[in-house]
Amino acid sequence: MTETTTAETHSFQAEVSRLLEIVAHSLYSERRVFLRELVSNAADACDRLRYEALQVPELLGAEAELKIVLAADAAAHTLTISDNGIGMSRAELVGNLGTIARSGTAAFVKGLEGDRKPGAPSLIGQFGVGFYAAFMVAARVEVISRRAGSEEAWRWTSDGRGAFQVEPASRAGRGTDIVLHLKDDALEFAEAQTLRDIVRDYADHIAVPVELAGAEEGEGALNQASALWTRPRAEITDQQYAEFYRHVGHGFDAPWTTIHWRAEGRIEYTGLLFLPESAPFDLYSPERRHQVKLYVRRVFITDKAEDLLPRWLRFVCGVVDSADLPLNVSREMLQNNPVVRLMRQGLVNKILSELEKRAKDDTAGYETFWKAFGPVLKEGIVHEAETRTRLVQLARFRSTAVDGWTSLADYVARMKEGQESIYYVTGETPEAMRRLPQLEGHLKRGVEVLLLADPIDEFWLGHVEDFEGRKLRSVTRGGDDLAKIKAADAPAEEPPPAGEFEGLVTLLKLTLEQDVKDVRISQRLEDSAVCLVADETGYDIHLERLLRQHRHLDTGSKRILEINPRHPLIKALARTATSEDGGAKVADAAKLLVDQARLAAGDPVPDLAAFSRRLESAVTRMLG
């Protein structure tokens, strides 16, 4: 078609404009990565054409050999990366290159800005910058693309400073040319030997040939251009695995673990999966899915086979190559497909087996992995009964007894004589939980308490009644069995004489009947006068708070007020309750104590003005 000079100008999405500036000025120490990103994108375009050609063979036409060509022009200061893959339409150029099609872009850019320093190698890969890496070396970028099956070609042009232009163009066939107008300090990337070195270092694993235009006769492809997962493990280096991981996962770090195997039996498939070192920025985005590509006999089918792995393994990336699915399988046919279900079971089992092995052989490494991905794995405890027991065994927790992480098995091995339950508390942070008055009795007796700070903890606990026959019990719920456990450094204390606090308890119940469900003598308190606990049949305190914050619960339930019979204040109140005018004094103090208990539990005081008046009155009486 004939080119015109009419070009439409579009503004970048605001966050993308800022992102381009950060990429261009913050990542010079890792500039070579730009070529890996662009070659990876070109290889993906070829994979997508292969898939679409299964349904529409004429898309390949006479150009059946797919390849990527690098053309360097040192005199013109340009480098062109060309492919004959699927190509892009005008709408795809605008959508793919003018926005980042992921939620949380603003947060992503803020994270980049917080790490703007030389030698920050993880930024591009961690956040999937991809195409935008071109602006590290290019003052201006042109993209000329023609969608397979279309006669129209389009040119996208930008200097990365806030806007881009789109106009009609011409291209002899389908595919994409990315023309980089190199910066003065990036002219090395127009040298043939530099390009050879980068491709061999970063793109040897790509299954599409990468050629150099104008190369000597017989040089051939710069990379091996064979599917890495089809090679024997013994022939693959750690560097090749790492580069393939970066290709499929768009990461820059090295994989924490690599799982490569061939399954034979009822179904046959090859799996090459990677578990990353660090969590991607969008790990908790609702749109986040696993990055496992499905192939059928080395032909790419889709990277959106959601049934291939459960959502709680959404951080996994890699490839699965099936020998049993038909080549012309559609994405719709993959849903509820029995072969996919069997592969899913095999993949999940293989991943959990690897995690079990690493947890045993590499404790420190596994704890680092758990810190990044533990909350996501806990989702599996909620959603999948088949793997629940194994995931609970793999889970690690902070606790009051150890500095690092602990498993439930290790907790059980440390349980005190007479202890029947596994105790836990949920809250915002381990530090805040350690200070809760409900833990005082446990800490005095040396009883370990698990400190659960992930929001998901409130929900998986409802699906796990016990571990190895030991019931999981919250320290902020009703009754406990602490009386059976002797304190670590003191003899067992005698209970208060019968009836000593009976009058006080009765008076508190009458005074606080609108505020609390019940008043009880506490076994768990040591230093504090009072605390609030949840009823055994109601929501735990932290869970109710979360539900109310997210508007899943309109009103809170009444708590149980526990009083410490050994505390001087409670003893004084007990004596006051029996005096002639003790009722009024105890009533005023009771209101103040229940508000104090609310604050200690992290709950708001319903009437701050009344609380302030009572506090002022109490201080006045004390000073008077």
Give the CATH number for residue 366.
3.30.230.80
Residue 144 makes CB contacts below 8 A (sequence gap 6+) with: 153, 154, 155, 156, 169, 171, 176, 177, 179
Residues spanned by the domain of 107: 8-225
Position 99 in a domain: yes
Range from 105-114, 329-338, 373-382, 612-621 that averages highest in pLDDT: 373-382
Position 389 in a domain: no
Same domain, 20 and 87: yes
Per-residue model confidence as pLDDT tens digits over 158-186? 988 778 899 999 999 999 999 999 999 99
CATH number for the domain that contains residue 17: 3.30.565.10
- pLDDT category of residue 124 using cuts at 50, 70 and 90: very low
Same domain, 596 and 464: yes
Give phi and psi for 283, each to the nearest 5. Answer: -55, -35
Q: What is the pLDDT of residue 131?
A: 82
Per-residue model confidence as pLDDT tens digits over 356-407? 999 999 999 999 999 999 999 999 999 999 999 999 999 999 999 999 999 9
CA 54 to CA 332: how far, in whole Å? 15
CA 506 to CA 596: how far, in whole Å? 20
Residue 283 makes CB contacts below 8 A (sequence gap 6+) with: 314, 315, 373, 376
Last residue of a domain, one of 225, 257, 276: 225
Same domain, 95 and 74: yes
What is the tally of structural domains in the chain? Answer: 3
Same domain, 184 and 249: no
Position 385 in a domain: no
Residue 324 has pLDDT above 70, yes or no: yes
Q: What is the pLDDT of residue 114?
A: 52
Contact 415, 423 (CB under 8 A): no
Position 391 in a domain: no
Position 3 in a domain: no
Residue 113 has pLDDT above 90, yes or no: no
Same domain, 53 and 190: yes
Position 81 in a domain: yes
Residue 426 structure tokens:
């949920």
Position 196 in a domain: yes
Last residue of a domain, one of 182, 203, 225: 225
Same domain, 450 and 476: yes
> Quick one: average pLDDT of 596-622?
85
Same domain, 452 and 594: yes
Same domain, 571 and 450: yes
Residue 251 makes CB contacts below 8 A (sequence gap 6+) with: 125, 126, 245, 276, 280, 317
Residue 101 has pLDDT above 80, yes or no: no
Contact 171, 145 (CB under 8 A): yes
Residue 307 has pLDDT above 70, yes or no: yes
Last residue of a domain, one of 179, 203, 225: 225
CATH number for the domain that contains residue 476: 3.40.50.11260
Same domain, 204 and 268: no
Residue 580 makes CB contacts below 8 A (sequence gap 6+) with: none
Position 384 in a domain: no
Q: What is the pLDDT of residue 498?
A: 55
Angle (nearest 5°) at CA 240 between 31 and 346: 125
Same domain, 321 and 435: no
Q: In what order do the strands lie in the sheet with 466-467?
A: 398-399, 449-452, 421-426, 470-474, 466-467
Q: What is the pLDDT of residue 491?
A: 52
Residue 308 makes CB contacts below 8 A (sequence gap 6+) with: 290, 292, 294, 320, 334, 340, 343, 344, 347
Q: Which of 246, 293, 243, 236 is nearest to 270 (CA)?
A: 293
CA 290 to CA 307: how far, in whole Å? 10
Same domain, 321 and 238: yes
Same domain, 237 and 133: no
334: three-class secondary structure by DSSP: helix
Residue 20 makes CB contacts below 8 A (sequence gap 6+) with: 12, 132, 135, 160, 161
CA 384 to CA 403: how far, in whole Å? 31
Query: How is the chain split among helix, strand and coil, in percent rounded to 5?
Result: 45, 20, 40
